[in-house]
Chains A and B, each alone.
Chain A
Amino acid sequence: MKRCRQCDVWVDSDGAKCPLCYADLECAQDGAGGAPGETYPQLGPAQHNGPGYHVVSRIFLFLSLLAAAVSLSVNFLVDRMHTPWSLLVVGGIPFVWLLVRYVIMGKVNIARRLMTQLLGSAGFVLLLEWFLRGSIYQGWALTYAIPFMNVAATLAITMILCVRYLRWTAYTLYQFLTALLGLLPLLFWLMGWITPGIWWPSLASAFYSLATLAGMFIFVDRKYKNELIRRFHL
Chain B
Amino acid sequence: MAQPENWYRLDNAAKIYPAISNKRRGSVFRVSVTLRDMVDAEALQRAADVVVQRFPTMAVRLHKGLFWYYFENTQASPRVQRERPWLCQPMDHSGDEGFLFRISYHQRRVNVEMFHSLTDGTGALVFLKALVFHYLREQGHAVSSEGDVLDKDRPFSIEEVEDSFLTHYDPKNGQRAQEELAYQLRGTPDGDGRLRLTSVGMDSARAVQLSRDKGCTLGEYLTALLMQSIYLAQVAGRPNALPIRISVPVNLRRFFRSRTLRNFSSYLNIGAQMTPDTPFDDILEQVRRQMREGLTQQNLARGINANIQAERNLFLRATPLVIKNVALRMAYRLYGERVFTCAFSNLGQVTLPQSMQPYVTRIEVVLGLGDINRLNVAACSYGGRLVINFTRSITEPDVEKLFCRALAQQGLQVTVQSNEGGAL
Do the two shown chains form a genuine complex with each other?
yes
Q: Which residues of A contact B (CB under 8 A)?
A: 1, 4, 7-22, 32, 34, 37-51, 107, 173, 177, 230-234
Q: Which residues of B contact A (CB under 8 A)?
A: 7, 9, 23, 63, 65-68, 70, 72, 83-86, 94, 106-107, 109, 190-194, 196-199, 314, 317-318, 397, 400-401, 404-405, 408-409, 413-424
In the bound complex, do residue A20 and residue B107 qualify as a contact, i.e. CB atoms below 8 Å apart? Answer: no
* Minimum Cβ distance to chain A for residue B33 (Å): 13
State A22–B190 Cα separation when bound (angstroms).
17
In the bound complex, do residue B419 and residue A20 qualify as a contact, i.e. CB atoms below 8 Å apart? Answer: no
Chain A residues contacting B23 (CB-CB under 8 Å) are 51
State A43–B193 Cα separation when bound (angstroms).
12
* Minimum Cβ distance to chain B for residue A214 (Å): 21
Which of B107, B109, B413, B419 makes the CB contact (< 8 A) with A42? B419
* Minimum Cβ distance to chain A for residue B409 (Å): 7
State A107–B109 Cα separation when bound (angstroms).
36
State A46–B67 Cα separation when bound (angstroms).
40
In the bound complex, do residue A19 and residue B198 qualify as a contact, i.e. CB atoms below 8 Å apart? Answer: yes
Using A8-B408, A230-B70 as known contacts, say yes or no to A41 and B85 having CB atoms under 8 A apart.
Answer: yes
Chain B residues contacting A233 (CB-CB under 8 Å) are 9, 65, 67-68, 70
Chain B residues contacting A230 (CB-CB under 8 Å) are 7, 63, 65, 70, 72
Closest to A45 in B: B423
State A44–B86 Cα separation when bound (angstroms).
10
Which of A37, A48, A177 makes the CB contact (< 8 A) with B192? A48
Which of B63, B94, B192, B418 makes the CB contact (< 8 A) with A19? B418
In the bound complex, do residue B191 and residue A46 qualify as a contact, i.e. CB atoms below 8 Å apart? Answer: yes
* Known contacts A20-B198, A40-B419, A233-B9, then 14 further A-B pairs from the complex at CB < 8 Å, ordered by chain A residue: A7-B401, A7-B404, A7-B408, A14-B421, A19-B420, A38-B422, A40-B106, A40-B417, A41-B85, A43-B85, A46-B192, A48-B192, A173-B66, A233-B70
The 10 sampled A-B contact pairs (Cβ below 8 Å) are A13-B417, A13-B421, A16-B424, A19-B420, A21-B397, A39-B109, A40-B417, A42-B421, A43-B419, A232-B66
State A43–B67 Cα separation when bound (angstroms).
41
Using A20-B404, A173-B66, A232-B67 as known contacts, say yes or no to A15 and B423 having CB atoms under 8 A apart.
Answer: yes
State A234–B120 Cα separation when bound (angstroms).
24
Q: Please classify the interface of chain A as helix (H, G, I), strand (E, B), loop, or mixed, using the class held by over half of its residues.
A: loop
Closest to B196 in A: A43
Which of B107, B314, B418 makes the CB contact (< 8 A) with A13? B418
What 8 A-B pairs have minimum CB-CB distances, sorted nearest first? A13-B421, A42-B422, A19-B418, A15-B421, A17-B424, A8-B408, A40-B419, A41-B85
State A7–B416 Cα separation when bound (angstroms).
10
Chain A residues contacting B424 (CB-CB under 8 Å) are 13, 15-19, 22
Which of A10, A41, A51 makes the CB contact (< 8 A) with B83? A41
Q: Tell which of A1, A13, A51 has the most Cβ of chain B within 10 Å.
A: A13
In the bound complex, do residue A43 and residue B66 qualify as a contact, i.e. CB atoms below 8 Å apart? Answer: no
Using A34-B415, A39-B199 as known contacts, say yes or no to A9 and B408 having CB atoms under 8 A apart.
Answer: yes
Chain A residues contacting B83 (CB-CB under 8 Å) are 40-41
* Minimum Cβ distance to chain A for residue B57 (Å): 16
Chain A residues contacting B416 (CB-CB under 8 Å) are 4, 7, 9-13, 18-20
State A43–B87 Cα separation when bound (angstroms).
10
In the bound complex, do residue B85 and residue A44 qualify as a contact, i.e. CB atoms below 8 Å apart? Answer: yes
State A32–B193 Cα separation when bound (angstroms).
34
Using A19-B420, A39-B417 as known contacts, say yes or no to A234 and B318 having CB atoms under 8 A apart.
Answer: yes
State A166–B194 Cα separation when bound (angstroms).
40
Chain A residues contacting B418 (CB-CB under 8 Å) are 13, 19, 40
Chain B residues contacting A173 (CB-CB under 8 Å) are 65-66
State A48–B189 Cα separation when bound (angstroms).
13
Chain A residues contacting B107 (CB-CB under 8 Å) are 37-39
Closest to B408 in A: A8
In the bound complex, do residue B397 and residue A19 qualify as a contact, i.e. CB atoms below 8 Å apart? Answer: yes
* Minimum Cβ distance to chain B for residue A41 (Å): 4
Closest to B198 in A: A19
Closest to B108 in A: A39
Closest to B191 in A: A46
